């Protein structure tokens, strides 16, 4: 008897959360496929099986929805990066571990990766935060590596961080949209080698 109203509330909350999640998922998929600018709220609503108005019940506006998709993507990415204990790893292994995490995130959430790494989104106010995180994260890694002597000290860390973000955006965004076009290990190998050794022939 006491449980009933609570049960009803819970059921409603669950259904509400399900609706929100459905909108979020479909928006991510559509944003990944066609870009956020050319995906209309009408199309998102249809894909999620709700009315247009429902989107505005769960998100402030279209930009807020994009923001939330990007936030979810960032959260997932951070989760993936946080899985392995990286404290005791040396430079090269640390890089490999990080690149593996980035690749796995892309593999597990291809739509989120495609949106997060969609250059068009990185250009919008909503995406700048994500961009800044990636940039900062790369820059921090570089600074730490230089201090520890793992990286060369004569690099322009801002530029290199930007270059690394460029690689991630291009390679992982593309892989997110075409998961079958390359294997996980090919992607990881490319990212690691580009960062560690460049392309000159091994000794």
Partner DNA sequence: TATGAATGAGCTTTCATTCAT
Partner DNA sequence: AATGAATGAAAGCTCATTCAT
Residues found near a copy of itself in the complex (CB under 8 A) = 35, 37, 91-92, 118-120, 122-123, 142, 145, 149-153, 155-156, 158-160, 162-163, 165-171, 174, 181-182, 186-187, 189-191, 193-202
- Cα gap 127→88, rounded to integer Å: 33
Cβ 42 to DNA, closest distance in Å? 5
Q: In the complex with a copy of itself, which residue's Cβ is closer, 61 or 193?
A: 193
Check residue 183 for interaction with DNA (CB under 7 A): no
Choose from DNA, a copy of itself, none: what does 111 bind? Cβ within 5-8 Å by kind. none
Are the C-beta atoms of residues 98 and 132 closer than 8 Å to each other? no
- Number of Cβ atoms within 10 Å of the Cβ of 56: 15
Are the C-beta atoms of residues 72 and 28 closer than 8 Å to each other? yes
Q: Binder to DNA among 29, 58, 98, 111 (CB under 7 A)? A: 58
Q: In the complex with DNA, which residue's Cβ is closer, 53 or 202?
A: 53
What lies within 8 Å, CB to CB, of 32 at 6+ separation is 110, 111, 112, 114, 115, 118, 176, 177
Q: Binder to DNA among 29, 62, 111, 131 (CB under 7 A)? A: 62
Are the C-beta atoms of residues 151 and 142 closer than 8 Å to each other? yes
Check residue 54 for interaction with DNA (CB under 7 A): yes
């Amino acid at each position: 008897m006491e449980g009933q109203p609570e049960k009803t509330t819970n059921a409603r909350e669950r259904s509400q959360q399900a609706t929100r999640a459905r909108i979020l998922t479909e928006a991510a998929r559509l944003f990944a496929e066609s870009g956020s600018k050319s995906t209309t709220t009408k199309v998102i609503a249809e894909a999620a099986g709700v009315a247009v108005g429902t989107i505005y019940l769960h998100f402030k506006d279209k930009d807020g929805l994009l923001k939330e998709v990007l936030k979810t993507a960032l959260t997932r990415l951070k989760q993936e990066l946080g899985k392995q204990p990286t404290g005791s790893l040396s430079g090269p292994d640390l890089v490999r571990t990080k690149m593996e995490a980035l690749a796995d995130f892309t593999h597990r959430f291809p739509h989120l990766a495609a949106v997060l790494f969609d250059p068009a989104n990185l250009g919008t106010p909503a995406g700048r935060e994500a961009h800044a995180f990636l940039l900062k994260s790369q820059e921090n890694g570089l600074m730490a590596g230089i201090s520890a002597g793992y990286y060369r000290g004569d690099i322009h860390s801002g530029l290199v961080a930007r270059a690394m973000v460029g690689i991630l955006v291009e390679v992982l965004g593309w892989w997110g949209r075409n998961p079958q076009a390359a294997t996980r290990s090919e992607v990881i190998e490319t990212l690691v080698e580009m960062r560690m050794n460049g392309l000159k022939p091994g000794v």
